[in-house]
Amino acid sequence: MSELYRRLAVFVDHPSENSFLWILLESTEDPAVWLDLETSEDTFETWIDAFDAGNAALLAYVDDELIGPVESSHGDDDAELPED
């Protein structure tokens, strides 16, 4: 099975005093371009709380914590076919 390693990152934004939120980013094929993948719905009072929550959200994209975020490539022989 061929797997593509996903380049994911957690970014913490500080839009106002005592208000922090996390944003998950994913790099495109151009490593200089990052796209928003997911943003927290709630705000947090501290940077570390937002960072920890963002990392928890990032881990939801990881099936195996020893390998990291991977996804099967489009040419994968084991890929599931759409049901009729």
What are 36-80's pLDDT values in tens digits? 999 999 999 999 999 999 999 999 989 888 888 887 544 444 444
79 found inside a domain: no
What is the number of domains present in the chain? 1
CB-based contacts of 35, cutoff 8 Å, min separation 6? 25, 26, 27, 28
Tell me if 24 is assigned to some domain.
yes
27 belongs to a structural domain: yes
Angle 63-69-74 (CA atoms, 0-180°, nearest 5)?
95
- Which tens digits make up the pLDDT trace of 9-41? 999 999 999 999 999 999 988 889 999 999 999
A 10 A CB-CB count for 20 gives 21
Asked whether residue 74 is domain-assigned, the answer is no
Domain boundaries, position 16: 3-69
In a domain, 75, yes or no: no
Tokens representing 66? 């020893």
In a domain, 15, yes or no: yes
Instruction: Give the global pTM.
Output: 0.74
Q: Is residue 83 part of a domain?
A: no
Helix, coil or strand: residue 52 = helix
Amino acid identity of residue 56, one-letter, is A
